[in-house]
């Protein structure tokens, strides 16, 4: 059996090999991330079939948990690492053609480091190790947001860095307090000892951990950085940030709440925050004219929905939340990738400039439309079964508060339909009768504007259509993923099984 | 005084953390904000160290005879702080390099004047 350590070690090694390769043969560097991530994808998929009964626990340095840093490759960890590798692989193929200017080897190193950090966060079983991988993820994403070195990118990166650094410091204080209370950093060990101290003394570390991780997860009052950062980065990086980085942040929040603290009293608060995040995100997205900011706000909304679904904390709710997470990752990555070339060809970020694009770039626009349909939850795409599961789970609780909240969440979906269909309307149904080229807002793209009527290149269309196929296939056969999602939900909900599997 | 003696490091650490947060929230100049981040980092590191601190403690080396194990300091927080210092340095370096770029674009470091991106 493959060792899950390779999921972290191989991309990390490749990432640091890229600058060396760049010394001798610069053109080769862009092929390294796809290779490393294809390896990760294969290993994750192989592990995924094996971790159903027993999670694989890797102890580093030959000590037994809780004395060593350990990796826990349970259903949740391997599911997440498979998603990260899949999205990362497809985006890195897209980047082969998309990223041409600037220090490309820097881009490839940092994007691979970002994905390594994300994989580390979801696999680790040690809370300080989680902090370290989180910082790898955050620092590379600060740098990647500023990759284009234009005004907007730098400004957003500064904002993101300041907020992210404060969040990380709070997270570290929380970890320090937990270490002071329990004398251990192993998450399972802390979880096992959590009942031995009074709940009052746990309140401060829990708030610090949720706040610190919530900055990266973009939960409502902490998400001011997200629309700037996601809209100023290159589109391939926006896809990774929206599709992976915030989901990983949310994973960490949920892991802390469910597994470490087993805190059921805070779940209602998180559900309220989730719905608030959803409504704020959707309402802000509605008023945007900039397509990438609209997508970024829509990510906030989706994160809110996922947080709400996970906070229901029934088997159906957590499964639905994880399903929604997978569907959002696929759909949002697809949308950002498709939009990348639509912006490239029209030379504008304004939705009003997209008129008639549907005829000039039929394939890209078809993919974009499918992504939108999936995101708003139309059958037969993957967004439908996931939203259906969430609604079903919320109604099954038979609690008035959850039924009211799911009503508000569905209201958010209606707003989502309204603003997304505005884009589709502009693409397909508005004429192009000699409209003068308007003075549009500052153009942001790694390459010079290549305005034309051509389709996106093949290297971009392949990953886009792989996403489309995945969205349709999982939408028609949700059974393909629900088994994995069910066992992942079980890992979240049954913390004693997690503790027992790690500590033996 | 014994209260001060046993808690002085915690008081210092949280003092630094609060000063750092205050600077980040209130100051307009990006360089000052970055200094605030540095102070915040230092406070967190001092806090982590004081979790494992013992007055007149020694290094935890078990192979050397004649050392009271009661006096050995906890090595784990020190390892954590080493890592946290390295991460803090990376963040500060990145922040300063971004500050240089920001100045090139806007000819100012006043964060209240840099407002192209908004809700």
In degrees and rounded to multiples of 5, residue A240 shows phi and psi of: -70, -40
Q: End-to-end alpha-carbon separation of chain A, Å?
A: 20
Whether residue B40 and residue A169 make contact (CB cut-off 8 A), yes or no, is: yes
Residue ranges per domain, chain A?
A: 5-432+445-503
Q: Measure CB to CB from residue B98 to each of A158, A175, A183 and give the nearest one.
A: A158
The pLDDT profile of chain A, 504 residues, written as one tens digit per residue, is 788 899 999 999 999 999 999 998 888 888 999 999 999 999 999 998 888 778 888 888 778 878 888 999 989 999 999 999 999 999 999 999 888 888 888 999 999 999 999 999 999 999 999 999 999 999 999 999 999 888 889 999 999 999 999 999 999 999 999 999 998 999 999 999 998 988 889 999 999 999 999 999 999 888 889 999 999 999 999 999 999 999 999 999 999 999 999 878 899 999 999 999 999 999 999 999 999 999 999 999 999 999 999 999 899 999 999 999 999 999 999 999 999 989 988 888 888 888 888 888 889 999 999 999 999 998 889 999 999 999 999 999 988 999 999 999 999 999 999 999 999 998 888 765 544 444 444 444 555 555 556 788 888 999 999 999 999 999 999 988 888 899 999 989 998 989 998 887
Chain A closest-CA separation from residue B44 CA (Å): 6
SS3 state at A58 = strand
Burial (CB count within 10 angstroms: exposed 0-12, middle 13-18, buried 19+), residue B8: exposed
**Bridge partners, residue A73, by sequence:** A56
Q: Which residues in chain A touch residue B99, judged by CB atoms under 8 angstroms apart?
A: 158
Paired tokens of A500: 């027992």
How many other CB atoms are found less than 10 A from the CB of residue A9?
A: 12
Contact partners, residue A112, CB within 8 Å, separation at least 6: A11, A14, A15, A18, A32, A33, A36, A37
Nearest residue of A to residue B93 by CA position?
A139
Interface test with B, best of A127, A149, A153, A158 (most B CBs within 10 A): A158
Q: CA B78 to CA B84: how far, in whole Å?
A: 10
CB A402 within 8 A of CB A314: no
Give the predicted TM-score (pTM) of the model. Answer: 0.93
Q: The dihedral of CA A425, A430, A432, A438: what is its sign? A: negative
Q: Which domains does chain B have, with CATH numbers?
A: 2-60+68-106 (1.10.287.3510)
Q: End-to-end alpha-carbon separation of chain B, Å?
A: 51
Q: Of A123, A132, A144, A172, which is closest to residue A235 (Cα–Cα)?
A: A144
Quick one: DSSP state of residue A99? Answer: -
Nearest residue of A to residue B115 by CA position?
A155
In chain B, residues 46-75 whose CB comes closer than 8 Å to chain A: 47-48, 51, 74
* Maximum Cα interatomic distance, chain B, rounded to a whole number of Å: 65
Burial (CB count within 10 angstroms: exposed 0-12, middle 13-18, buried 19+), residue A102: middle
């Amino acid at each position: 059996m493959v060792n899950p350590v390779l999921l972290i070690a191989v991309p990390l090694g490749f990432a640091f090999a890229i600058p060396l390769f760049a010394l001798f043969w610069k053109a080769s560097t862009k092929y390294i991330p796809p290779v490393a991530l294809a390896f990760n994808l294969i290993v994750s998929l192989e592990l995924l079939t094996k971790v159903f009964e027993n999670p694989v626990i890797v102890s580093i340095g030959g000590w037994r948990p809780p004395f060593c840093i350990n990796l826990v490759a349970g259903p949740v960890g391997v599911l997440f690492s498979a998603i990260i590798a899949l999205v990362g692989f497809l985006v890195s193929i897209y980047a082969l053609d998309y990223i041409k200017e600037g220090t490309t080897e820097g881009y490839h190193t940092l994007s691979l480091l970002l994905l390594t950090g994300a994989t580390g966060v979801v696999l680790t079983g040690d809370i300080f190790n989680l902090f370290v991988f989180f910082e790898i993820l955050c620092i590379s994403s600060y740098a990647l947001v500023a990759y284009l070195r234009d005004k907007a990118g730098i400004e957003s990166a500064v904002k993101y860095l300041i907020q992210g650094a404060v969040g990380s410091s709070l997270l570290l204080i929380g970890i320090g307090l937990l270490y002071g209370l329990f004398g251990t950093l192993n998450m399972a060990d802390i979880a096992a000892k959590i009942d031995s101290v009074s709940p009052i003394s746990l309140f401060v570390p829990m708030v610090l951990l949720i706040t610190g991780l919530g900055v990266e997860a973009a939960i409502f009052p902490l998400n001011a950085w997200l629309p700037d950062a996601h809209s100023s980065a290159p589109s391939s990086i926006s896809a990774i940030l929206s599709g992976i980085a915030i989901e990983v942040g949310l994973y960490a929040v949920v892991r802390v709440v469910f597994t470490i603290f087993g805190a059921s009293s805070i779940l209602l608060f998180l559900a309220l925050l989730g719905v608030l995040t959803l409504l704020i995100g959707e309402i802000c997205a509605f008023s945007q004219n900039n397509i990438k900011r609209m997508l970024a706000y829509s990510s906030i909304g989706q994160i809110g929905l996922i947080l709400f679904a996970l906070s229901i904390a029934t088997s159906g709710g957590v499964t639905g939340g994880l399903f929604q997470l997978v569907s959002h990752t696929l759909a949002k990555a697809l949308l950002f990738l498709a939009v990348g070339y639509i912006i490239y060809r029209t030379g504008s970020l304004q939705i009003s400039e997209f008129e008639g694009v549907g005829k000039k770039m039929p394939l890209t626009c078809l993919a974009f439309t499918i992504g939108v349909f999936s995101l708003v939850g139309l059958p037969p795409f993957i967004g439908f079964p996931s939203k259906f599961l969430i609604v079903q789970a919320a109604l099954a609780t038979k609690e008035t508060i959850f039924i009211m909240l799911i009503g508000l969440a569905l209201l958010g979906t209606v707003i989502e339909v309204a603003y997304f269909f505005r884009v589709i309307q502009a693409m397909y149904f508005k004429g192009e009768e000699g409209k003068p080229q308007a003075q549009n807002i500052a153009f942001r793209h790694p390459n010079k504007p290549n305005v034309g009527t051509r389709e996106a290149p093949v290297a971009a269309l392949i990953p886009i259509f792989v996403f489309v196929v995945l969205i349709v296939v999982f939408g028609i056969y949700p059974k393909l993923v629900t088994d994995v999602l069910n066992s992942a939900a079980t890992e979240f909900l049954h913390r004693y099984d997690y503790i027992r599997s790690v500590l033996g | 005084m014994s209260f001060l003696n046993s808690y002085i490091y915690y008081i210092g650490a949280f003092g630094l953390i609060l000063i750092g947060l205050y600077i980040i929230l209130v100051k307009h100049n990006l360089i000052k904000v970055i200094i605030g981040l540095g102070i915040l980092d230092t406070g967190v590191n001092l806090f982590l160290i004081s979790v494992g601190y013992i007055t007149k403690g020694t290094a935890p080396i078990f192979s050397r005879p004649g050392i009271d194990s009661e006096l050995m300091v906890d090595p784990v927080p020190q390892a954590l702080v080493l890592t946290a210092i390295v991460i803090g340095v990376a963040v500060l370096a990145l922040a300063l390099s971004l500050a240089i770029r920001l100045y090139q674009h806007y000819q100012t470091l006043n964060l209240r004047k840099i407002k192209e991106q908004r809700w």
